[in-house]
Every structure is written in structure tokens, then in C-alpha cells.
Amino acid sequence: MGGASIHYPRRVTHRALHTRQGFIEEVLYMQKLITELKEANIGTVLINEPLANHTTWKIGGPADILVEPTNKMALAHSMKLVHKYNVPWQVLGRGSNMLVRDKGIRGVVFKLAEGFDHLTFNGEEVEVGAGYSFIRLAVMAGKEGLTGLEFAGGIPGTVGGAVYMNAGAHSSDVSRILKSAEVLLENGELVWLSPEELGFSYRTSVLQKERRGVVVSAVFRLQYGDRKTIAGHMAAYKDRRRQTQPLSMPCAGSVFRNPPGDHAGRLIESAGLKGLTIGGAQVSEKHANFIVNRGNATAQDVLDLMERVIEIIDERYQVRLVPEVLVVGEG
């Protein structure tokens, strides 16, 4: 493993490498960070890990360092080390709703999985770890006879990602049911934030903008309801998802946000763009607001296809589509 370490900083660009001395300093910084992360015994530390293995699109270059912390204290310690060495960072849940560029992500990628999958019901409230499946949370809430999370039954990804993006469907979203979220701030401090402090709006939160942090856990406020009714809604949503979405192919969910008063999928379909292909990326023939990986798509294929769709819809309908997926990393 040590023999490969010289390669990591060659892709790190957060500090300018104008001189040979600068390059050497960058190498040493990254090696020191890797050493401290491993010595801290905070979980799994992978080097040059292909992120195509960790995204639902099956696309993405390598992360310089991928850290899978065992718990929130391990995550906090890792974040303090990242802050100490002034290394850029990114969070990855299940890799849905995210496009990683072909040259990967510089610095550290935190992946929240085991250790962040706890679930506790307390009356009409449920506390759940950020790494817990959002779909499974909806199912478990329904079994408890709790209503309010039915909309999540068709949203892939984790609870942390859902809070970060204010995920929603079927005329509801996270902001309507969230009581509070535990967030690890960039300085390593753990805080609980209210929906107001999270600054929710359509598919966004303050965490995407001026207050960077990692969602660690969340508390949702639900209501007791009829189990059969809840199960019926869940089954209907699941069936609709199966019939209308290309679940058999690698994809990342809806690509574009719905414009006010309309649906991105309707506009794309009405423009005759279903099946439009660039490289290995294709506008789904099943759902026009999905782009699928036909097996060999690159991130650049997807980006080029997204831009082509945006241009055509803008020219034809004077509507500028806005991406819903997060695009991260280096092209």
C-alpha cells in the first residue's frame, strides 16, 4: 500500500503546485494524512478507490482517499484531521443522485454505511442514522403504523442524503416531517439543527451552500395512521415506480428539477428526446427524466447529454432545466 502513495497527490489540486517544492509538500501532506487516518483506527481507509463501485450510475473516477468511519465519533475525528491538513472533502451515501466526474474526487470522500444505520421509534417520532436506507425507513415506519413517510418509498439513497437534498415526491418532502438533524460541521463540531436552520427549499438545504456539514442522524415527526391505508399507498407508489422507472439499468434517479408548474420528464418526452444517446449515456426510453448507463458510459457522456437536453428544451420551450443530480469531482 505504501508504494502507491506517491500517486495520490498528483491529482490533488486544492493548493497550487507551481514548483517542485510545492509538489513534494503536497505528497508529504497526503502521506501524513493517510498515516494519521490509519493509525486512528477510525474504520476503513481505501486509497485511489474507484467511485464507480459506489454510485448507482456505476460511473466515476477514483477518490484519493475513501473513508468509511465506524461511528460518528470516528467521523468527527476524521473530519478534524481533514481540517488540520486543509484537504477537500465530500460525502457519499449510497451514491444515488450523484455524478462523479471521470477524474474522480480529490482529497477525502466520507462514505456513511455501517455504524450510521441505527433506527429507534419513540411514539410518533423516529430517530434514524444517516446511513439508513430512505426506502427501508418508509417501510419500517409503515409497519409501525406511522404515516408521513410514504413518499419516500420510491426514493433511493440514504437518510443523510435525503436531508441534505430535501428529497421529495408525491407532493411531500423531508422538510414537512423533519424535527431536527444531527450534523457534523466542517470544524468537527456536532450540532442539532432545526428545519429552519437547515434552510430547506425545493431539493436544497443550507448544507449545500454556506454551511457545509455531514448529516449524522435525523429525527422525523410522524403520525399514527391506519396500517392498511399506509401499506396501500406504499404498494401503489412501488408499483408505479416499477412501471415507470428504468430500475433494471444503472441510473441516479431524476436528473432535472421540475420547473414551476410543469414536469421535466413531460418536457423532455414531448420534445421527442427519449432514447437520445451520447456515448454510453441515454435518455431513458421508459422515463424521460432519467439518464441510464448502457454499460460503458463516462461521466462526460452524461454531462454532454444533459447539456444537449437543456439546450433543446430551452430552444423549444424557453424553459431552462436545472440539474437535480449533484455533479462532483474533476473532469
pLDDT digits (tens, 9 = 90+) for 156-166: 889 999 999 89
At 236, the pLDDT band (50, 70, 90 cuts) reads confident
- Please classify residue 31 by burial: count the beta carbons closer than 10 Å to its beta carbon, then call 0-12 exposed, 13-18 middle and 19+ buried: middle
> Is-contact 295 249, C-beta < 8 A?
no
Question: Does residue 200 carry a pLDDT above 90?
Answer: no
Selection from 173, 175, 184, 260 nearest residue 217 by Cα:
184
Q: What DSSP designation does 258 have?
A: P
CATH code for the structural domain at 117-230: 3.30.465.10
pLDDT of 7 reads 35
Assigned C-alpha cell, 9: 497527490
Q: Which helix (H) or strand (E) holds 92?
A: strand 89-92
pLDDT band of 100, cuts 50, 70, 90: very high
Give backbone dihedrals phi and psi of 169, rounded to 5 degrees, phi first.
-175, 160
* Residues labelled catalytic: 203, 254, 324
Predicted confidence (pLDDT) at residue 11 exceeds the cutoff of 80: no
Res. 19 pLDDT band, cuts 50 70 90: low
Q: How far apart are CA 303 and CA 311, in angstroms?
A: 12
pLDDT of residue 22: 58
Q: Which amino acid is at 36?
A: E
Per-residue model confidence as pLDDT tens digits over 130-166: 999 999 999 999 999 999 999 888 788 899 999 998 9
Q: Where are the domains of the chain?
A: 20-111, 117-230, 246-328
Least confident window among 42-56, 110-124, 165-179: 165-179
- Give the dihedral of Cα atoms 186, 192, 197, 200; nearest 10 deg: 90
Of 121, 61, 66, residue with least CA distance to 93: 66
pTM: 0.86
Is the pLDDT assigned to residue 213 strictly greater than 50? yes
Q: What is the mean pLDDT of the chain?
A: 89
Q: Residue 311: phi, psi to the nearest 5?
A: -65, -45
Interatomic CA distance for residues 154 and 275, integer angstroms? 23
Supply the DSSP string of 125-150, one letter for each residue.
EEEEETTSBHHHHHHHHHHTTEES-G
Answer whether residue 13 shows pLDDT above 60: no
CA geometry: angle at 323 spanning 282 and 171, to 5°?
Answer: 105
Domain 20-111: give its CATH code: 3.30.43.10
Query: Which fold would CATH assign to domain 246-328?
Result: 3.90.78
pLDDT at position 1 is 33
Contacts of 183 (CB under 8 A, 6+ apart): 190, 191, 192, 193, 207, 213, 214, 215, 216
User: What are the cell numbers at 286?
Assistant: 421508459
Q: Identify the pLDDT of residue 4.
A: 32
